[in-house]
Amino acid sequence: MTDCIFCKIVNKEIPGKIVYEDEHVLAFLDIKPVARGHTLVIPKKHATDIFELDDKSAEEILKVAKKVSTGILKSLGAAGINLLNANRKEAGQSVFHYHMHVIPRYTGDGMRVWPNSNYKESNLDEVADVIKKHI
């Protein structure tokens, strides 16, 4: 896609600090890391978000996220990893080429990652039923 910053990194039109590359997937450092080693894993083939992602890319992205996570644990001494992915602007997505964040967690880093709300679900059965019908 011509106007996509991540496609430009895939095509080497702009630089990226690449940590892993194969036929389907590229992994490179986030330009504004929230922690040492913060990496983005993307499909080489443009997809805006998870709703556009083909199954092959989806599989390969998780495999690479696993490789990168293991590498970060071994090389940087991270104590844990969060995998995060925002889909659509309402979910906080700001670059519209699918990407999985690999976020290293260090002991005592104090980062909070889980969405927080006062929401209380009154009927889990109904929610499960309605979702099931659309999968």
Active site residues: 99
Listed ranges 59-67, 72-80, 89-97, 117-125: which one lies at the site for ligand 5GP (CB under 6 A):
89-97
Sign of the C-alpha dihedral computed for residues 53, 56, 60 and 63 taken in this order = positive
58 binds Zn ion (CB under 5 A): no
Distance CA 115, CA 34 (A): 17
6 binds Zn ion (CB under 5 A): yes
- The DSSP H or E segment spanning 70 is helix 55-76
Number of residues binding to ligand 5GP, judged by CB under 6 A: 12
The residues that touch ligand 5GP, with contacts defined as CB under 6 A, are: 5, 16, 28-32, 86, 92-95
